[in-house]
Amino acid sequence: MAVSINHPSYQRKSALIAGVSLLIMVFASFFSFGFVHGNLVVEGDPNATFHNIRTSTVLFQAEILGWLMILITDILVAWGFYLFLKSTNKYLSLLAAWFRLIYTAVLGMAILNLIIVLLLAKSAVPNSYLPIEQVPGQMMLYLEAFQSIWSIGLLIFGGHLMMIGYMVFQSESIPKVIGLLLLLASIGYIFINVSNLFDLQNIEIISILTAIFQIPMIAGELGFGIWLLFKGGKGPR
């Protein structure tokens, strides 16, 4: 017998898929970008960055594995969100899922640059085909390419969150504050990454607004993930 998309068991399974995947993705992001990338990459200093990665290749490999985990969980989140929000708005949930999948594809292209950086770090030895003095500059170029390509993806991700936030806000079962946080997070992602890509002026104002948007950007998806894990799809008592 077919199960309706509004059936509690169907909703609960999709909520668990999205919730668990979101939490795994958040921890992987903190590790790969917040901890490893933030400590190994020194902005504006190719030689220090080269030294850090060259002497910590295992840690940098762990960062890449973390990004691949993010890639996989993003696909699962796109699927889980679509299944869970399908009953709220079938077509908008499908469009939001496609936006996240496109973002994931762009992220995959960005990760390829990190793999090239790893290869440069491992091949940076005397008598290699690339003079060792040129490696730091090449490495920094690929790291900047990673950041720029990822920023393009995050613009698309901001559009995805805007649609998710709208559907969450319209839902009768999900707390309105989560929808509001997701909508604010979407604005934050779009604003910050437009600023990064086009190198906008008024750096002090941008820094202040970025700090303000960081709260909903972290709390929005994380809060939704926790709600999905513990409350999503559970029928009334």
| pLDDT(186) > 60 | yes
> Is the pTM of the predicted complex or chain greater than 0.85?
yes
CA–CA separation, 73 and 79 (whole Å):
10
| pLDDT(125) > 70 | no
3 vs 210, higher pLDDT: 210
Asked if 151 contacts 119 with a C-beta cutoff of 8 angstroms, the reply is no
The predicted structure's pLDDT at residue 214 = 84
DSSP per residue over 20-84, as a string?
HHHHHHHHHHIIIIIIIIHHH--TT-HHHHHHHHHT-HHHHHHHHHHHHHHHHHHHHHHHHHHHH
Q: Which of 10, 20, 29, 2 is nearest to 150 (CA)?
A: 29
Distance in angstroms between the alpha carbons of the first and the last residue of the chain: 25
127-173 pLDDT, tens digit each: 556 667 788 889 999 999 999 999 999 999 999 999 999 999 998 88
CA–CA separation, 212 and 112 (whole Å):
31
33-77 pLDDT, tens digit each: 999 999 999 988 999 999 999 999 999 999 999 999 999 999 999
78-109 pLDDT, tens digit each: 999 999 999 889 999 999 999 999 999 999 99
In the block, which residue shows the tokens 């989560």?
Answer: 178
The predicted structure's pLDDT at residue 6 = 56
Asked if 80 contacts 14 with a C-beta cutoff of 8 angstroms, the reply is yes
The predicted structure's pLDDT at residue 237 = 38
Q: Which of 228, 225, 233 is nearest to 22 (CA)?
A: 225
| Tokens describing residue 33 | 């970008």
pLDDT band of 200, cuts 50, 70, 90: low
208 vs 224, higher pLDDT: 224
Q: Whole-number mean pLDDT of the chain? A: 88
The predicted structure's pLDDT at residue 130 = 64
| pLDDT(3) > 50 | no
